[in-house]
Structure 1
């Protein structure tokens, strides 16, 4: 029996792209904001179709995204402060 390489042997390890989540939350918040702008521009047709509530969903997503962005940036900064060695005062 020959020793054939498996997928686990040949697949390189992939490093995480965004460890702290700031980029992901920022992109998601921007997407909700774009959706909100589109809903505001198309307010009339959306209301005629019975989908006027989409505007409120986009507004809620953008506001919660801003809150999430504040949180993940604060968490990232705390992690960075904890990772740097403390310098003793002379």
Structure 2
């Protein structure tokens, strides 16, 4: 079996309103959970309660995602500011006099 190698470079990743996208998705998961809770008995009668708990898990994981993308966005902005000011962004252990 031949090894597959790409014939061209991969495109740059798309950047957009990541924080807003993750926040909107998280809100959607929680809304879906809240809409399904009054019908829990119906889901339970049909052994479909996993739908309810999947929405809750999606909302919970979305909260972790919001935390992550906010930290990522702040780090990208700090890096851009450091590059613009001419400071060498890097780890303190990278400096020989440290």
**Normalized against structure 1, the TM-score is what?**
0.69
Partner of 1:67: 64
Query: Deviation digits for residues 43-87 of structure 1, max 9, x if unmatched?
Result: 111112221111111111011111011000000011111112449
Partner of 1:46: 43
Structure 2: gaps spanning 5 or more residues: 1-13, 88-98
Report if aligned partners of 1:21, 1:72 keep a CA contact under 8 Å in 2.
Answer: yes
Tell me by how many angstroms 1:37 deviates: 0.6
Q: How many residues align?
A: 72
**Normalized against structure 2, the TM-score is what?**
0.64
Partner of 1:5: none
1:56 aligns to what SS in structure 2? helix
Q: 1:47 to 1:53 in 2, by over 3 A?
A: same
State the structure with bigger RCO (CA 8 A, min sep 6), 1 or 2. 1
Tell me by how many angstroms 1:19 deviates: 2.1
1:27 and 1:35 map into 2 onto residues whose CA distance is 12
2:40 and 2:17 map into 1 onto residues whose CA distance is 36
